[in-house]
């Protein structure tokens, strides 16, 4: 059985005092679903968040990392550094990293390797832009992103890979892919995995949907058979909204 996961990506929001407030609000919520819950605060809040949530069932994860072990990479953070503050999962390939920080599929393949070398779990994000969807190229774009960053891996590596399909046109825009659009793409992604790695791997990998998931649309999206959870941006900044989404499973 694959895992259900709801992960909150805080992006560049919440300084340390704001992190404390949001975490204390998250702790007041109750969970009625069997989803794994994760939050991804910014680097400066990671250690605090990890400590504050140590006894909880909320995993604290990172939004990004560098591929190198260490060295002259001013401003960057390595897998070993993340692990030293308790972090075992990292988001890679978010469309904002691709768009604003020029992260390419080739660079992301290196980051994926570095995370897996450190036995970290990767939430690997990808998704098409509006122009790709309009021109009918969306499946091809997504397939290329997955192949270039992940298909050099051995099948066993997929035990530590979670996929997150996030159509760029739906992120932070209030426009969500319809549940049918999400299901179609997730089924396509699974078929792409079947072709390369076979049914066992394809059926064991969780595929999350991200892009304007809110309490009022989460249930319908999550009800689709190939949607195994969500990567939540804006709605993860409010504890009640976030848990309404977690409990939509």
Q: Please list the active-site residues.
A: 94, 166
Scanning 74-82, 128-136, 143-151, 207-215 for contacts with ligand PGA by CB under 6 A, the matching segment is 207-215
Q: Residue 225: what are its φ and ψ, rounded to 5°?
A: -65, -30
- DSSP-assigned letter for residue 4: P
- 127 or 202: CB nearest ligand PGA: 127
Q: Is 8 in the site for ligand PGA (CB under 6 A)?
A: no
- 197 or 242: CB nearest ligand PGA: 242
Q: Which residue is nearest to ligand PGA (CB)?
A: 233
Scanning 65-73, 194-202, 206-214, 239-247 for contacts with ligand PGA by CB under 6 A, the matching segment is 206-214
Closest CA to 7 of 242, 203, 199: 242
Scanning 30-38, 75-83, 188-196, 205-213 for contacts with ligand PGA by CB under 6 A, the matching segment is 205-213
Alpha helices per DSSP H over the chain: 16-27, 43-52, 79-84, 95-100, 105-117, 130-134, 138-150, 179-197, 199-204, 218-222, 239-246
d(CA 240, CA 243): 5
d(CA 155, CA 170): 31
The least CB distance from residue 74 to ligand PGA, in Å, is: 26
Residue 17, number of CB atoms within 10 A of its CB: 9
Which member of 36, 103, 166, 241 binds ligand PGA (CB under 6 A)? 166
- Residue ranges binding ligand PGA (CB under 6 A): 9, 166, 171-172, 210-213, 231-235
């Amino acid at each position: 059985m694959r895992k259900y996961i709801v992960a909150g990506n805080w992006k560049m929001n919440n300084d340390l005092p704001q992190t404390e407030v949001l975490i204390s609000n998250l702790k007041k919520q109750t969970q009625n679903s069997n989803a794994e819950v994760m939050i991804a605060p910014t680097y400066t809040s990671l250690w605090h968040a990890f400590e504050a949530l140590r006894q909880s069932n909320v995993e604290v994860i990172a939004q990004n990392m560098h591929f190198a072990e260490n060295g002259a990479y001013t401003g960057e953070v390595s897998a070993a550094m993340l692990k030293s503050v308790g972090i075992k999962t990292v988001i890679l390939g978010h469309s904002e990293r691709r768009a604003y920080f020029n992260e390419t599929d080739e660079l992301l393949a290196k980051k994926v390797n570095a995370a897996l070398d450190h036995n970290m779990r990767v939430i690997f994000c990808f998704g098409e832009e509006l122009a790709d969807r309009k021109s009918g190229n969306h499946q091809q774009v997504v397939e290329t992103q997955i192949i270039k960053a992940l298909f050099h891996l051995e099948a066993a590596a997929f035990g530590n890979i979670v996929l997150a399909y996030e159509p760029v046109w739906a992120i932070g825009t209030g426009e969500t892919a319809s549940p049918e659009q999400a299901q179609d793409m997730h089924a396509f992604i699974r078929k792409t995995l079947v072709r390369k790695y076979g049914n066992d791997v394809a059926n064991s990998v969780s595929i999350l949907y991200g892009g304007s998931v809110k309490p009022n649309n989460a249930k319908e999206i999550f009800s689709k058979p190939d949607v195994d959870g969500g990567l939540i941006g804006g709605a993860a900044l409010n504890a009640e909204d976030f848990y309404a989404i977690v409990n939509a499973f």
